[in-house]
Amino acid sequence: MTSEALENLLHEERHFEPSAEFAAQANGTAALYDAAAADRLAFWDTQARELISWDAPWSEVLDWTNAPFAQWFVDGTLNVAYNCVDRHVEAGYGDQVAIYWEGEPEGESRAITYADLQAEVNQAAHALESLGVRHGDRVAIYLPMIPEAAVAMLACARIGAVHSVVFGGFSSEALRSRIEDAEASVVITSDGGYRRGKASALKPAVDDALDAGAESVRHVLVVRRTGQDVAWVEGRDLWWHEVVGQQSTEHTYTAHDSEHPLFILYTSGTTGKPKGIKHTTGGYLTQCAYTHRNVFDLKPDTDVYWCTADVGWVTGHSYIVYGPLANRATQVMYEGTPDTPHKGRLWEIVQKYGVTIFYTAPTLIRTMMKWGADIPAGYDLSSLRLLGSVGEPINPEAWMWYREHVGHNSCPIVDTWWQTETGAIMISPLPGVTSTKPGSAQRPLPGISADVVDDLAQSVPDGGGGYLVLTEPWPAMLRTIWGDDQRFVETYWSRFEGLYFAGDGAKKDEDGDIWLLGRVDDVMNVSGHRISTTEVESALVSHPIVAEAAVVGASDEMTGQGIVAFVILRGDAHEGADTVKELRDHVAKEIGPIAKPRQIMIVAELPKTRSGKIMRRLLRDVAENREVGDVTTLADSSVMDLIKTGLSGDGD
């Protein structure tokens, strides 16, 4: 973002007061802020009691004596699947639809009630047990957006197995490394799924991953979704419908410790190796339920909620599976892409189900803006009463467009800031209470403490900028990085003593509202997906013709950031007509299509300091077509001229 754009952004003067009508019925109230401010731990104690069913009470809300290793609701026990499914059936809501699933091919849909979900989760829990999966074992889930993804996650939670969902768009290589890091014993996948109008395959990536390693895996459970042919390893591979379908629909759960791991979810950090973010049970579920109820104002008897994320990301974990189901929501789950078979597909689904709450990412909103307002105008969106945004900063124009063309100028918009690591929403307006501002996530939620600090960890005054930190532990916080406590401490708790360093730059405006300004580390945000520059660099240098690579995130109107790579070829390699394409495909193979560089520039040199550090700042100037900044610290200041004049090989 240019400093001029930033200035404009921070002088945002539009405010939208909640309507009296909305405020009168809102779950969130100003009293929540007061209660949390008066006694934060008592506040969380109340949330945990009111929103979650426990089998045994806790002896202490928070044990922070071994900081930064937290324990929440110490000694409490509960079962997450019971909370998300069974208790609703017991309370008489078995016939309420939990999931309206919409396949990408039009006309393929399923309505799954809470009673159906209970039967399927129980069967899947038995199936996992029959495959030898025990409490604490890890199960990798590599599925498209089909209901079995939620069923598989809940079945793991029910028996105390730890799931590790890997986004279906990741490559076999990425899957292999994640399976190996978690030592998963079972992989749940499908033959494929529907994307962009055709059946794409998933099972081959699992086969490749297991051929290349991942030796801990004993079984692969395969959901039949598309009916395409799949290669089969007898004894290892099993059809979901055969193994799960024959099990009893009754299953007796056991309660798990509040700090029992619920899942691992890998995310990109500053080094090439993704981090397995570990989340546990009681605190995570409490904050998911609390935020889902108050930020989305969920009324389980009347709302139809829809979060467009994929279950492969944390948003899908917390706001498709755990938060909404704990709160007995009726929700929509959609398998496919927004423009298949036409660009009005999402609005058609909103109209079909009468969606009332809609949660999506700024990149999708900007894409919709590009497609034109006449598309949403062609559908009846009057059922919508609240809109949400997540994943990256939302620019005020996109926010205003969302409000006007989707939210008929009356829906409150909640811009929710959080991370894989935080587990649940941390900073967001509270609808019905907060006067919203386009582009700002505004305030930490009641019970959450955040600040913006300078290099010396001093809180900046209103109007100042610096780094976003979280100043108190919170229930859904990550507990560690799987298998690497030291990296956990170093990454998040070492930059500023006693504070959680989020990795985001932020500003406080004159009202003290927080504006998120993007990552300050080597993590890029491409269409709301987190990808590290080092990860893409490692993928590039693993190609035999590449000698060196430097990757930067360049600002991109549509995707937030785009990946731009500068590559030096090996001395004996020659740039051919297809070199750039080959390298882009190689990155897709190593990581996944989401990490394909937008542009690859083949260069003879990279700008380095005298100590050999690549100056990414200068490369970003080139990638963003800006005047190149200060080059005085370069070992060889002519390098930048060389790069600029010798550029070749734009991406397709």
CA 334 to CA 341: how far, in whole Å? 13
Site track 248-277 with ligand PRX (rule: CB under 6 A), x = hit: -------------------x----------
In this complex, which beta carbon is closest to ligand PRX, that of residue 353 or of residue 418? Answer: 418
Nearest to 414 by CA among 474, 362, 366: 362
Question: What is the smallest separation between the CB atom of 388 and ligand PRX, expressed in angstroms?
Answer: 9
Beta-carbon contacts of 100 under 8 Å, excluding residues fewer than 6 positions away, are 109, 110, 111, 112, 304, 330, 331, 332, 333, 353
Among 63, 86, 102, 415, contact with ligand PRX (rule: CB under 6 A): 415
Tell me the Ramachandran region of residue 116: left when phi exceeds 0, alpha when psi lies from -120 to 50, beta otherwise: alpha
In this complex, which beta carbon is closest to ligand PRX, that of residue 122 or of residue 416? Answer: 416
Mutual angle of helices 172-182 and 579-590, in 10-degree steps:
30
Site for ligand PRX in 301-340 (CB under 6 A): 314-315
In this complex, which beta carbon is closest to ligand PRX, that of residue 162 or of residue 390? Answer: 390
Question: What is the smallest separation between the CB atom of 27 and ligand PRX, expressed in angstroms?
Answer: 20
Whole-number Cα distances in Å, 401 to 370, 429, 437, 515: 11, 18, 13, 19
The burial class, CB within 10 Å (0-12 / 13-18 / 19+), for 577 is exposed
Question: What is the smallest separation between the CB atom of 551 and ligand PRX, expressed in angstroms?
Answer: 17
Question: What is the smallest separation between the CB atom of 504 and ligand PRX, expressed in angstroms?
Answer: 5
The stretch among 56-64, 367-375, 457-465, 498-506 that binds ligand PRX (CB under 6 A) is: 498-506
Beta-carbon contacts of 109 under 8 Å, excluding residues fewer than 6 positions away, are 100, 101, 102, 103
392 is a site residue for ligand PRX (CB under 6 A)? yes
418 is a site residue for ligand PRX (CB under 6 A)? yes
Size of the site for ligand PRX (CB under 6 A): 21
The stretch among 333-341, 343-351, 429-437, 500-508 that binds ligand PRX (CB under 6 A) is: 500-508
417 is a site residue for ligand PRX (CB under 6 A)? yes
CA 237 to CA 498: how far, in whole Å? 48
Site for ligand PRX in 421-450 (CB under 6 A): 441
CB 196 within 8 Å of CB 157: no
Among 209, 390, 580, 618, contact with ligand PRX (rule: CB under 6 A): 390
Among 391, 439, 447, 592, contact with ligand PRX (rule: CB under 6 A): 391
Among 516, 536, 594, 639, contact with ligand PRX (rule: CB under 6 A): 516
CA 506 to CA 465: how far, in whole Å? 6
Tokens found for residue 547: 């000698």
515 is a site residue for ligand PRX (CB under 6 A)? no
The stretch among 173-181, 203-211, 481-489, 502-510 that binds ligand PRX (CB under 6 A) is: 502-510
Question: What is the smallest separation between the CB atom of 22 and ligand PRX, expressed in angstroms?
Answer: 21
502 is a site residue for ligand PRX (CB under 6 A)? yes
Site for ligand PRX in 13-42 (CB under 6 A): none
DSSP state of 612: S
CA 78 to CA 258: how far, in whole Å? 7
287 is a site residue for ligand PRX (CB under 6 A)? no
Beta-carbon contacts of 645 under 8 Å, excluding residues fewer than 6 positions away, are none
Count of CA atoms in the C-beta half-sphere (13 A) of 544: 2
Residue with tokens 């300050």, as numbered in its chain: 520
The residues that touch ligand PRX, with contacts defined as CB under 6 A, are: 267, 314-315, 390-393, 415-420, 441, 502-504, 516, 519, 525, 530
